Copies of this chain bind each other. A is one copy, B any other.
Amino acid sequence: MKKAGILGGGQLGRMLLQAAINYPVETFVMENDPACPSAHLANHFIKGDISNFDEVYNFGKGLDVLTIEIEAVNEDALEKLEAEGVKIYPRPSALRTIKSKLLQKEFYQKNQVPTSAFVITKNKQELLSLREFLPAVHKLDKGGYDGKGVQVIKKVEDLEKGFDETAVLEKMVHIKKELAIIIAVSETGETAIYPPVDMIFDQSLNLLSHQIAPADVPEKVFWKAEAIALRVVKELKSPGIFAVELFVDIDDNVLVNETAPRVHNSGHHTIEACYSSQFDMLWRILLGYPLGNTDQLLPAAIVNLVGENNFTGPVLYEGLEKVLAMDNVFVHIYGKTTTKPGRKMGHVTILSSEKQELVHKANQIKHTLYVKSA
């Protein structure tokens, strides 16, 4: 039985371990928090710091294959492990490119992947001279995550809010739509692409409202998006699951926003909606099996369950029973014991052949189920 390790023990690891149950594999998880969502679901849980060279190296050295569920890992250790013969999917080289906003933008540029224009800034002084480039978005080169390390700079006065360390200033795109495409790359370089996902934002709150797959886009946009996403993963030259996030601008240009080298929130509906989910697919890749079928059985929507503002502490799911009484709705609770504002605590998937029903139920769920604390 192959030994497979996962660095990180959050909800992505949890759902990955849920899919592992179908396969002959011995699972290992490393994460600092023994109460994390994944710890109890692995054959072996190792408490450890995934950003520490020695701990990652020691964790990985007896394994056949190693993957990540968060980018903030020690890639030097992964490189050493790879050199010693452990399969690391995604490859450390791809991870290194993606972890740095700067390298990631340069990678797109070098490979003729359409992406928004950008300038690299080493400090705030350099930023202040870029008035002509506004409106723009300033992104920290390293360490940004889930909206942290990102600053919108619309006007000259906003320049003050920029970062005083290496960062990328990206020209703001006039966004009509945001898409995400999940792609699987096998050990042998074969690819399988999931139908694109519409990321629908709540304009008033500037927050992701819900996601719908397949996305509602003209055929021209669809083909462009698929071609671009495929181009990205081919050039990353690494097996794994990749989520390519894309902007569609008002002229129907498609631009890459960013890529994640792992299973991704925008692919959670694949658990119920697709023959092979993104989690199932990653196991096929890690274990060297043929890729699965990415076809969707039915259109799907995802609503994320995040901690309500003003609630911090032991979690309480208000309205859960009402949502469980709704037909064709699938609740996924991530098993985190405490909530805080904005924390990802679960998601709900809706299946329906009627797009209107998906939107209706997504809204209904958002007004029924709240993550609060006791």
Question: How far, in angstroms, from A14 to B20 measured CA to CA in the complex?
Answer: 12
A252 to chain B, nearest CB (A): 33
Select the stretch in A70-78, A137-145, A238-246, A324-332 that faces chain B: A324-332
A335:B24 contact, CB within 8 angstroms: yes
A21:B18 contact, CB within 8 angstroms: yes
Contact of A42 among B40, B290, B325, B331 (CB under 8 A): B40
Q: Across the interface, which residues of B come within 8 angstroms of A24, CB to CB?
A: 315, 317, 320, 333, 335
Question: How far, in angstroms, from A332 to B280 measured CA to CA in the complex?
Answer: 11
Name which residue of chain B comes closest to A314, CB basis.
B1
Interface CB pairs A-B, < 8 A, 12: A15-B21, A17-B21, A18-B18, A21-B335, A22-B332, A23-B333, A24-B315, A24-B320, A40-B41, A40-B42, A275-B328, A290-B325
A311-349 to B contact mask, C-beta < 8 Å, 1/0:
000010100110011011011110101000000000000
Q: Across the interface, which residues of B come within 8 angstroms of A22, CB to CB?
A: 330-333
Residue A128 lies at the interface, judged by CB distance under 8 Å to chain B: no
Question: How far, in angstroms, from A9 to B293 measured CA to CA in the complex?
Answer: 31
Question: How far, in angstroms, from A332 to B25 measured CA to CA in the complex?
Answer: 12
In the complex, the 3 A-B pairs of residues with the closest C-beta atoms, listed nearest first = A290-B325, A289-B324, A18-B21
A284:B324 contact, CB within 8 angstroms: yes
Question: How far, in angstroms, from A264 to B167 measured CA to CA in the complex?
Answer: 57
Question: How far, in angstroms, from A297 to B290 measured CA to CA in the complex?
Answer: 25
Question: How far, in angstroms, from A31 to B43 measured CA to CA in the complex?
Answer: 16
8 Å CB interface, A275-329 against B: 275, 284, 289-290, 292-293, 297-298, 315, 317, 320-321, 324-325, 327-328
Copies of chain A in the complex: 2
Q: List 17 other contacts, CB 8 Å, given A40-B43, A293-B327.
A: A17-B21, A18-B18, A18-B21, A21-B332, A21-B335, A22-B330, A22-B331, A23-B333, A24-B333, A275-B328, A275-B330, A275-B351, A289-B321, A289-B324, A292-B324, A293-B328, A297-B298
Q: Across the interface, which residues of B come within 8 angstroms of A315, CB to CB?
A: 24
Name which residue of chain B comes closest to A24, CB basis.
B333
Q: Across the interface, which residues of B come within 8 angstroms of A332, CB to CB?
A: 21-22
Among A23, A298, A330, the most chain B Cβ lie within 10 Å of the Cβ of: A23
A292 to chain B, nearest CB (A): 8
A290:B324 contact, CB within 8 angstroms: yes
A39 to chain B, nearest CB (A): 9
Question: How far, in angstroms, from A325 to B331 measured CA to CA in the complex?
Answer: 30
Question: How far, in angstroms, from A293 to B293 measured CA to CA in the complex?
Answer: 25
Question: How far, in angstroms, from A288 to B1 measured CA to CA in the complex?
Answer: 38
Question: How far, in angstroms, from A284 to B15 measured CA to CA in the complex?
Answer: 19
Contact of A41 among B41, B293, B351 (CB under 8 A): B41
Q: Across the interface, which residues of B come within 8 angstroms of A335, CB to CB?
A: 21, 24
| Contact A321 to B290, CB < 8 A, known contacts A24-B335, A332-B22, A351-B275 | yes
A6-18 to B contact mask, C-beta < 8 Å, 1/0:
0000000011011
